[in-house]
Amino acid sequence: MHLLGDGLGPGDGAPPEAQPIREPLHPRLPEGGPAAANARTALLRVEHLAKRFGAIVAIDDVSLELRAGEIHGLCGHNGAGKSTLVRVLMGLVQPDSGGVLLDGRPLSLRGARDAQAHGLAFVDQELSVVPALTVEENLFLGDTRAGLVRRRSSQRRLAGSALERVGLGGLAPTRAVEALSVGERQLLEIARALHRQARLLILDEPTATLTQVEIDKVFAAVREVAASGFGVIFVSHRLGEVLDLCHRVTVLRDGRVAGSHSVSDLDRDRLVELLVGEAGSEPGAARPPARRRRPAAAGTVSLRAVVPPGWSAPCDLELGAGEVVGLAGQVGSGASELLRALGGLSPKARGEVSLDGRTLPLGSVRAAIRAGVVYISNDRKGEGLFLGRSVAENLVASRLSSISRGGALPPRAVRGAAGRLASRVAVDPRRLSQPAATLSGGNQQKVFIGRAVDRERTRLLLLDEPTRGVDVSGRTEIHALVRLFADGGATVVFSSTDLEELLDLADLVVTVFEQRIVSKRPREAVVPSTLLAEMTMGGPEPVVAP
Amino acid sequence: MTESDAAAEPLSLHRRAVAAAVTGWLGAHRTAVAAGTWAALAALVAVLAYGAVSTDGFLTVANGKAILASVGVVGIVAVGMTFVMLGGNLFSLSLGTTLAVSAIAFLDFLHLGVAAAAVLAAAIGAAVSGAQGVAVGAFGVNPIVVTIGAGALQEGVVVKLTGGRTIVPSAPLSSYRFLVTPLLGLPFPVYVLAGVALSAELVLRYTTFGRELYLVGENRRAARAAGLRVAGVTTAAFAVAGLCAGVAGILSGSYNQGASLTLSGTYTYDAISAAIVGGNAITGGRGSVGRTLFGAIVMATLSDLMLLRHYGTGAQILVKGVIVLVFVSLLNARRGGSDG
Amino acid sequence: MRRPTGRRSGRSPVRHGLPFLTLALMVAAFVIVPAASDRSISHANLYDISQQVASLGTLVLALGLTMIAGEFDLSVPATYQLGSMVAVTTGVGSPAAGVVAGVAAGAAAGVVQGLVVTRLRVNSMCVTLGGYLGIVGLVFVVGHSSGVGYPRFDVGARLEQPLVEGVISLRSLVVIGCFLAVAAVFTLTRLGPEVRATGSDRRAARVAGIEVERLLVGVFAASGALAALGGALQGYALAVATPSTATDSLIFAATAALLGGVSLRGGEGTVAGIAAGTLTLGVLAELLAVMAFGDYITSLVTGALLVVVALAGAPDLSDRLVELLHPLRASYRLRGRPVGADDR
């Protein structure tokens, strides 16, 4: 089914600014080439793209069209297929079926330099400007068209004009990039793309970590880029921004195109509806509550004026034993920083946390562990598991001193402890001697959790995106585990970007947006569309910048 | 490749499992390590075969004993080096110097009695190396740089204290004769090596320290997040290495009847080569004392053959260097990006 | 995804100027200390310093370049000897041809190691350790385990002749020329920023379009070539090439590079800084010689200096210190002492 919106005629889909579409500059064509091409020729055409990873369908029959000069928004939940689509476009992943046409010619890329040569530029949150170099050096870094010798004077001039175009005109090209803010660095990357006369600019969640002022500058730069005849794909979960910036929006849901419309035909509610589906508008969600909410003993875990690194406002929470709290926040919202601070990983966190009346010192992992606080990171491969070691070893890694007798560690004791932990988290005991790398994502996560949690001693369990990279059955098991620990009296705080998971698991839903708490409400009172609006825009009404 | 994916498509389970074993992250490494071990075995067999065919006197009991004898002191240092490598600290380039320092200390303190001198010498070795471990473990400084600097520092101190002279034993041979008397036809150091290697392997397998060492070597960040004592474990690993170097120094100094900085010889490089050829992962987290011993024996056999065939010093070093290069590449090649 | 963090770099004016400040201090010490102890310095001492730079300057530059690129070339002392041996054995008829041959041999050694590092993705310290052993072995073999003499004394005499008031030799001038050439390449071509980017943030460098693998092989080749050049000139000057397993030169090179602002993390450092670091150590060595403290003092001081400088450059030094001291604070708190709002 080819979803390209509603009967597009020649006048539809034109940029609201009503600028004539100029001939896009192509690095290979001589300057001053033929006159403006047919305005209806699509710059980029995605046709029936599909990609599966094993049993998981990432995208299915996705098509869209992008004209030169158009800013095209791409929205969808995590897991809806946005990043897969982008990776196909950038040549990082090959599709199973369907194709991509750039200027009517099929596109197949083999890496960063290839993408650059075809005129594609990609800017995402993981910036690729090098902080140790100057602004100027970064602008011209790795330019495939450049010769060996740097012509400093002409570079200086070109740098000046490139910076002007993105609103960084006042920036000295000789400044070190490390002195620039994140927003300025992002603008620098866009300037680099401009300089390379890219034809298509893809921005993937670029504004998640920017201030409002920086966001305005980025938008101005993006509009300028589009006005020069580029095509821009703007991937974002921040719906307000998408409506503000884009000409057209394509919404992906569960790997398919849920809708592709001109922005003038959309408003916030309609957009949220497309994202969530029809079932998202009643309070309490469409599923029966997974477990009865236990009356929590008040004031067991208390956060007072807690300010994790990067947060703009202090956080106050009173949580009870056996309570499961879901931090609803998108990537970059600050939820992760809060969890890490509570887990003792942030020496610079401020504020007062107490557990059962005793103060929990912030900034030391070992002190946190001693106090019964357990933090499960969202990066289980880098910071969590020992992939080359056996599952058994991974399970017992945190409690070696309690298993050992006077420094000695008899293998029987290790096996015994590992076996007990494995059964607690429902990991097949036959896999105990295998390397942890051979487990599925879900099982790895269970091992990670199982290692950290001690039934008797754990008072506060902190989970940062507990089911990231885990399939459906693994997810169910982990949710069951979490409930089990909560029933045992521990307080659980987890962060998630997944509405379903939040509604499934949490007793209390706390929304985090732009490094502050936006709302707190019990699960029964949550309306999914409102929740999504708060996570992506700060609230159903646009948040006024301070 | 995930379990659940496999479960969803049972027909291709077997194929996927094979694919996973061959192409997965760990698969590549384990295959490489396995390949490396086979290569080392093959090399040993080849050397033995070539030696037997081409050189008289190679495949004899006497020669076998000579090979074992030469493994003695080097093997002890190599055991120590293993601890450094397992913990993810690459290698210590000053263990040879520490050996010489301990030897000098031992001979100089002999007049206090063999036991006292030995304890002091070993303790000095452990302390000197342990201090380097603090810099590496607690402050995260590059181990290569710390150890070469510390090595030079030790050299300077030794020359200052000894005036550049060779230190001679400060007690008659009779008091420490047992150190240099062969036992059952094999030199004493071989037995010491056996004891040291056995204790070391027991420590690695059956103590908390050993387990933590492997975990820290496997993934330092995860170890920190799991609450393991990264700094303590690293310091201890270096201290153990220094202790081994100390013991080796005691034996070497006794044999030599004198000690100076030149006693350090090529022990450092030989120990590193033994650990690498034996198949210990150079980035840490995988390996054992047994592997190191195997590597030491391979290297000793090779050296012995080269000696019998009258290879010059240069050729010997060249061959050793090439072997190290080949084995380091074979065993430690990784798939995927080498980003930093 | 992580929020991008800024890496502390050496471009701030303070860190950039530190090598020169150190040099100034060292020169001051060189002038003051002997005078205070009634020893005199003369042109001969300055000549010695420039000779030190001539001998080891290219080594420091070689190691420094690989460190800026985020790697570490342990084999530079070996490649140095290789250059020496090859030049001495092949340069009897034409000294220039000998130098070229030596440099080529060094470059080849670098290329081989570079390929192993990039293609097989093995840690460069380990590869270059193997390279060190292999190349030293090769030198021993070629030199029959003893020195190889160079009969062309005239070449040596010309290279070593004191010029400019007896302060500097032709060999030193050549080495200085080397520094200038490399500095020119670094600042005037795109290679400079590319090497620094590769050392500083390899992922970003790749995404930006730099051919990281090819660049690294080139850096190792340059390292080998530079080390070999220094060795070749040394061989001519001393009229002999001697194989040796000593690692003093590596310690000098590492210390000089670190003093020169190069960091073990990669991405930091300039050629001018490396030159300053080399000169600083050269002056220090001469100072110690003038003061006649004794042989051991040079090893002692250089070794200690290396450890200190490496410690000073340790990543997140302040955080680590806080972390080390923290358990004391934490346990103090848990004992029930009331917590104030700004206890931090």
- Chain A CB within 8 Å of residue B210 CB: yes
B interface test, pick of A92, A409, A412, A471 with most B CB neighbours within 10 Å: A409
Cβ–Cβ of C127/B328 closer than 8 Å?
yes
List b or e across B21-36, with b for residues whose CB sees 16 or more CB atoms inside 10 angstroms: eeebbbbbbbebbeeb
Q: Is C335 on the interface with A (CB under 8 A)?
A: no
The pair of structure tokens assigned to C104 is: 């080529």
Report the run of H or E that residue C275 belongs to, with start and end. helix C271-291
Q: Measured between CB atoms, does A401 come within 8 Å of chain B? A: yes
Q: Nearest residue on chain C to A361, judged by CA atoms?
A: C330
Going by pLDDT thresholds of 50, 70 and 90, the confidence category of residue A129 is confident
Residue A18 has pLDDT above 80, yes or no: no
Tell whether B12 lies on the interface with A, counting CB pairs under 8 A: no
The dihedrals phi and psi of C110, each to the nearest 5 degrees, come to: -65, -40
The pLDDT value given to residue A189: 87
Q: Which class would CATH give B26-332?
A: mainly alpha
DSSP secondary structure of B197-263? HHHHHHHHHHBHHHHHHHHHHH-HHHHHHTT--HHHHHHHHHHHHHHHHHHHHHHHHHHHTSB-GGG
A261 DSSP β-pair partners: A249
Which residue in chain B is spatially nearest to C305 when comparing CA positions?
Answer: B149
> Which residues 160-219 of C are in CB contact (within 8 Å) with A?
188-191, 193-194, 196-197, 199-201, 203-211
CA distance A374 to B24: 30
Interface list for C 28-47 with A (CB within 8 A): none
Each residue of B166-180: pLDDT tens digit? 888 888 888 788 888
The pLDDT value given to residue B28: 44
pLDDT digits (tens, 9 = 90+) for A299-353: 578 888 888 888 888 888 888 888 899 999 877 788 888 998 988 888 888 888 8
Q: Which residues 249-268 of chain B have a CB within 8 Å of chain C?
A: 266
The confidence score (pLDDT) of residue A379 equals 79
Cβ of residue A450 closer than 8 Å to a chain B Cβ? no
Asked if B33 is an interface residue toward chain C (Cβ–Cβ < 8 A), one would say no
B60 token code pair: 């004899």
pLDDT tens-digit map of A377-434: 887 777 788 988 888 888 888 888 788 877 788 888 888 888 888 888 888 888 888 8
Q: Where are the domains of chain C?
A: 32-334
Which residue type occupies A173? P
Measured CA to CA, the distance from residue C313 to residue A106 in angstroms comes to 51
Query: Taking CB atoms and an 8 Å limit, are C326 and A367 in contact across chains?
Result: yes
Report the chain A residue with the minimal C-alpha distance to residue C209: A142
> Which chain B residues are closer than 8 Å to A435 by Cβ?
26, 30
The alpha helices in C37-189, defined as continuous H runs, are: 43-68, 76-90, 95-119, 124-142, 153-160, 170-188
- Mean pLDDT in chain B? 83
Task: Please tell me the least confidently modeled range out of A89-98, B238-247, C305-314.
Answer: A89-98
Q: What is the DSSP string of B172-188?
A: -GGGGHHHHS-BTTB-H
* Confidence band of A12 (pLDDT split at 50, 70, 90): very low
Q: Give contacts of A144 with chain C, Cβ < 8 Å.
A: 209
Yes or no, beta carbons of C10 and A140 under 8 Å apart: no
| Residues of chain C neighbouring A352 (CB-CB closer than 8 A) | 339, 341
Scanning C260-319 for CB atoms below 8 A from A yields 267-268, 319
The larger pLDDT score, comparing residue C315 to residue A543, is at: C315
Render pLDDT for B66-91 as a digit per residue (tens, 0 to 9). Answer: 888 888 899 999 999 999 999 999 89
Interface test with B, best of A399, A438, A447, A448 (most B CBs within 10 A): A438
Q: Which residues of C touch B318 (CB under 8 A)?
A: 133-134, 136-138, 140-141
Which parts of chain C register pLDDT below 70? 1-15, 315-344
pLDDT (0 to 100) of residue A19: 38
Taking residues A52-76, what's their average pLDDT? 84
pLDDT at C9 (0 to 100)? 41
CATH number (1.20.120, 1.10.3470, 3.90.320, 3.40.50) of C32-334 reads 1.10.3470
Please tell me the predicted confidence (pLDDT) of residue A2: 32
- CB atoms A361 and C201 under 8 Å: no
Question: Nearest C-alpha of chain C: how many angstroms from A477?
Answer: 25
C183: left (phi over 0), alpha (psi -120 to 50) or beta: alpha
Which of B153, B158, B336 lies nearest to residue C304, judging by beta carbons? B153
Q: What are the residue boundaries of the structural domains of chain A, listed by start?
A: 47-276, 297-391+440-537
Nearest beta carbon to residue B206 from set A401, A410, A438: A410
Half-sphere exposure (CA, 13 Å, Cβ side) for C303?
23
Grade residue B96 by pLDDT with cuts at 50, 70 and 90: very high
Residue B154's pLDDT is what?
A: 92
CB contact under 8 A, C307 and B146: yes
**Is the minimum CB–CB distance between C327 and chain A shorter than 8 Å?**
yes
CA distances from B119 to B171, B176, B196, C144 (A): 16, 14, 15, 42
* Interface contact flag, C245 B266, Cβ < 8 Å: yes
| B289 to chain C, closest Cα gap in Å | 20
What would the pLDDT profile of A147-177 be if each residue is shown by its tens digit? 778 777 788 888 888 888 887 888 888 888 8
How many CB pairs lie under 8 A apart between chains A and C?
A: 143
For A47-276, which CATH class?
alpha beta
Q: Nearest CA to CA, how far is B278 from chain A (Å)?
A: 18
From chain A, the residues in CB contact with B201 under 8 A are none
Residues in CB range of A342: below 8 A, 6 or more apart? A303, A306, A353, A360, A362, A368, A373, A375, A460, A462, A493
B181 touches C at CB < 8 Å: no
C 167-186 residues with CB < 8 A to B: none
Chain C residues near residue B144 by CB distance under 8 angstroms: 72, 74, 125
Q: Identity (one letter) of the amino acid at A517?
A: I
User: Could you identify the residue written with the tokens 């060999």?
Assistant: C171
Q: What is the mean pLDDT of chain A?
A: 78
Contact pairs from chain A to chain B, CB under 8 Å: 105
Of C190, C210, C267, the CB nearest to A132: C267
Whether the predicted pLDDT of A79 surpasses 80: no
Interface of B with A in 227-266 (CB under 8 A): 227-228
Q: Do A142 and C267 make contact, defined as CB atoms within 8 angstroms?
A: no
Give the Cβ contact number of residue A331 at 10 Å: 18
- Segments making up each domain of chain B, as ranges: 26-332
Q: Give the C-alpha separation, A109 to B89, whole Å.
A: 39
Contact flag C10-A132 (C-beta cutoff 8 Å): yes
For residue A5, what pLDDT band results from cuts at 50, 70 and 90? very low
Please say whether the beta carbons of B261 and B158 come within 8 A: yes
Q: Verify whether the Cβ–Cβ distance C136 to B329 is below 8 Å.
A: no
- Asked if the model's pLDDT at residue A59 lies above 80, the reply is yes
Residue whose entry in the numeric block shows the structure tokens 């001018």:
C272
Secondary structure string (H, E, C) spanning B283-305: CCCCCCHHHHHHHHHHHHHHHHH
Class of A297-391+440-537 in CATH: alpha beta
Q: CA of B139, closest CA in chain C: separation in Å?
A: 6
Interface check for A278 against chain C (CB to CB < 8 A): the answer is: no
Instruction: Assess B15–A contact: CB distance below 8 Å, yes or no.
Output: no
Residue A132 touches partner B, C-beta closer than 8 Å? no
Tokens linked to B205: 């397998």
pLDDT band at B232 (very low <50, low <70, confident <90, very high): very high
B212 at A interface, C-beta within 8 A: yes
Cβ contact A386–B228 (<8 Å): no
| B324 inside 8 A of chain C by CB | yes
Which among A407, A414, A471 has CB closest to B2? Answer: A471
A428 touches chain B (CB under 8 A): no
The distance of A131 to chain C (nearest Cα, Å) reads: 6
Whole-angstrom distance, CA of residue A355 vs CA of residue A303: 9
C69 contact residues in A (CB cutoff 8 A):
none
**Cβ–Cβ contact B26 with C under 8 A:** no
At residue A489, what are phi and psi to the nearest 5 degrees? 110, -5
A30-49 pLDDT, tens digit each: 333 233 344 446 788 888 88
For A427-483, the pLDDT digits (tens) are 888 888 888 888 887 788 888 888 877 767 788 899 988 887 777 777 888 888 888
